[in-house]
Structure 1
Amino acid sequence: MIVVSSNLDTGYVVDAITNTTNIDNLTSVNDTRWSNWFYQRLSTERLLQELNLYENQIIRSKTYPTNSGQSPIGSESVLLRSPYQSNVLQSCCTASFMLYLMKTRPNNELQYMKPMLHRTLESDHTTFGNGLPAGTILYSKTGNAYDTVEEIAYIILPNGKEIILSIFSNGYQRRATDYYILGRFVEMILNKFSLVSPSTIIFTTDIQDIYTCTNDSMKYISSLPKDNIGQSLITFNNSCIIHPILSTRGIYTVSIWNPSFFDSSTNINSRLNVAVTDAYNVTDGDDGYVYNQQGSLSRWISVGDFVLDAGRQNVYLKALDQKAVFNAIRFSMHPPLTIDSDSNSKSSTFFPSHTFIYFIFLFFQIRLIFY
C-alpha cells in the first residue's frame, strides 16, 4: 500500500488496524452491533487525536472498490450516511503527520519506513519528482482518484535544506499524464522562496540564440498553452539543435519541458528524439532518448545524466513523425559527493544541518495554473 497504492490492500489494512470487518447485513445504527463496530473503526482517529495530529479531519471509511465490495454495503454503507461523513483530509494535517514521522520516531522505525517511502526523481510513484533538482532525496506518498492528484513528501534538497510539502489538487483533468503535473508547481514553489541553488538552469525559446532549426520551424508567441514556460514555443517538422552555454563543468540531468501544445484533441502522433553531446561522446543527433510528446504533457522529461564541459552545448532534437514542439530545456547539476567524517561508510552522503522549512498548502486549485 505504501510502495504501490491499492484500494484493495488499503481495505485489508483498515480492517487489521481497527479490528473491524464489514458486517454485510447491518443496515441501521439501531442494530446492536453498530456501536461496538463504530467505536473500533474510530481507533485511528483516537490515536491521531492523542498525538494532536487529527484536527478537523475525518479518517474512517475505505476507498472503493475494495475488499468489502465494489461499493459500500452493510456497516460500511451505514458509516457514510448522515450524520456521519466520508473521509476529509487536510494538506496541513498530513504535512504535520509526515513531520511527526520523520522527526520524532526512533531510528528503528525510520529504518523500516524510509525504504518504502523513498522515491527516485524519475519514479512513477511521485508527481513532485520531475520538478526537483538533481541530487534531491525524496520520501513521499502520492494518491490520485477521480479529478484529484496529491502528494505528501519529506524532501532533502542538495543544499541540505529540508522541506515537508503536502499538496492536494484537482489537477487530474485530462488523462494519466496529469499524474505528473505537480512537478512544475513544486519547481515554481522552490524558485519563489529561493530554495534551490543556481546549479539548476532553465533555457526557453524566448532566448533566440539558444537554438538553431531547419527552415520548417515556426515560433509561437500567442495562444500558448497555460503550462508553457516563458512567452514562446517552437514547432518543427525536421530537427533543431539547442546550444545554450553552461559556465561550469559537471554531471547534469538534462530534461525537456513538454507543454500541452499537442493535447488529446490534436490528431498528431508526435515522437521526439533527444540526443546530447557530452564530454566523452559526440552525437550526430541519432540514437537518443525517444518519447511521445502527446502522451507526456505538463512535465519535465529526463533524457539522462551527462558529464558536460563548460561552454556551448549541443542537444539535438529530431521530430520522428509529423511535427514536434520545443519550449524549454533544463540542466540540473548534481552536487559533489561529501563524505561524513563520522561515518564508516565511504559511500554515505553528509547533509549539514540547515533551517527546516515547513510548507502548508491547502487545496491548491492547480487547474487555474495549468488549464
Structure 2
Amino acid sequence: MFTSEETGLAVEGGPAARTEPWPTYDKGDVFISPEDEAAVIKAVRSRLYFRYDHRSYEETCTGRFERRLAERFGARHALACSSGTTAISLALLAGGLEPGSPVACPAFTFAATPSAIILAGHTPVLVECDADLHMDVADLKRVLDEGAKAVVVVHMRGFASDMPAICELAGEYGVPVVEDAVPALGARIGDRHLGTFGDFGAFSTQSDKSLNTGEGGFLLTDDPEAYARATVFSGAYEDRMNRHFEGTPPPVDDLAYPIFSFRMDEIRAALADALLDRLPDRLALHHRNYEHVAQCLGEISGITLRTPVAPRAYLGEALVFRLEGASPEQCAWFARALCAEGVDARALGDRGDKNVRSFWNWRFLVGPDADAARAALPRTARYVSEAIDIPLSANLTPRDCDDLVTAVRKVLPALG
C-alpha cells in the first residue's frame, strides 16, 4: 500500500524534495539579533542576576520586562517566572481553589498542562476535542456539570480555542478560566490577545516559543490580590511582593503561603525584553509562512486543515492537518516519508512514539493501559491519531514553504 515504483519517494530510495535541514529550535534555529545578544551581555556584565536585589523594581531587567508585557497585552499585572508550566500552576495556586479540586483541561495538549494542574495540588479532568482539535465546548459543559472547579484552556499548536464561548460557559458555572497560551504567544482573536480572555493567562519563553530565552515564562492577570499571591508563591519573600505595586499593595500576608522559587532570572529577562521589540516582525513572518502553505495544501484532496475559530486566530508556528480516515500506522508512515523528503514531520498518534501530546501516553494520569485511555476519550483519540504536525520556523523562506508543499504532494498519493 505504501510503495509505488513511480513515486520516487525518498523513503524508498528516491531523491528527496530538499536536502537542507528543516529549521527547528533544537538544531539552533533562532530569531535573534545582535541587539538581543548585546542585552544579554550587558546583564551578565552587571553581575546582578537575581531579580530582588538592592535595585528598585523599575531598575531590574525583570521589572522592566513585566511592565512592558502588561502594556503590550493590556493587562494590569505581569509576573515573569521560570516556565509556562509554573505560570499555569501559579494561576491555580493564586486562584484560591480548595486543594484537590477537579480542573478541566483539554485532552489534546502537551503533558505540561495536566502536570501543572497536579503541581498546583489539583486533579486534571480531561475534555474531548473537536475535529479541529479545539476544546469541545459541549464536552466541557459535561465536565462542569460533574463538578470541575476551574478550566484550563489551551491554544494548542498556536490555534486559538473558542474563548468567548468558553468564558461564557465558565461564567454560568462561576468557575475561573486559566488560558494556557504557552503555544500561542502573540496570537489574537480579532484585536484581543490570547491570554487576556480568562482570569489568568500563562505563557512560555522556552526555546520554540515566540520569545526564546531557552526556559522561562510569565503570567498575566487583572486581579491585584491574585497577582500578589502569585508573586509570593513564585518566591517574593520578606516583603518583596510589595515591590510589584505602586502605592499600597493588596492586603496579602506573604508569610501565609509557601515559596516555590519559580522566579525568572535577570539574564533571561534581559533577553526576553530585547526580543519583545521584534515580536511583531516574528509574528508577521509566522502568518506569512502559514498562510502560504495552508493556501496551497487547502487545494489538495485528502488533507484536512484545522479551521480557526476566527479569521487569523492562530500563531502560525506549526502546521497541523489531519489525514481523515487514515490509520495510525498510515499516518506514522506518512510522517516518516515527509522526513525522508527533508521536511520534519511527526504523526501525533504514532503508537511507537512516546509523544507527550498524545494523552494516552500520560501514564502519570491515565495509567498504563493506552487502549483503555483512548476508549475513554474516543473522539480526541481519533482526531489526534489522524494528525500530522510540522514545525514552521519564522526563518522559513518562500522556497522552504514550497518545498513543504512539494513533499506533501509527492508523498500523499502513496497512501492509496
Greater share of helix residues, 1 or 2?
2
Q: Indicate whether the TM-score tops 0.5.
A: no
Q: Which has the greater radius of gyration?
A: 1
Instruction: Please give the TM-score of this superposition, normalised by the length of structure 2.
Output: 0.25
Greater share of strand residues, 1 or 2?
1
Instruction: Please give the TM-score of this superposition, normalised by the length of structure 1.
Output: 0.27
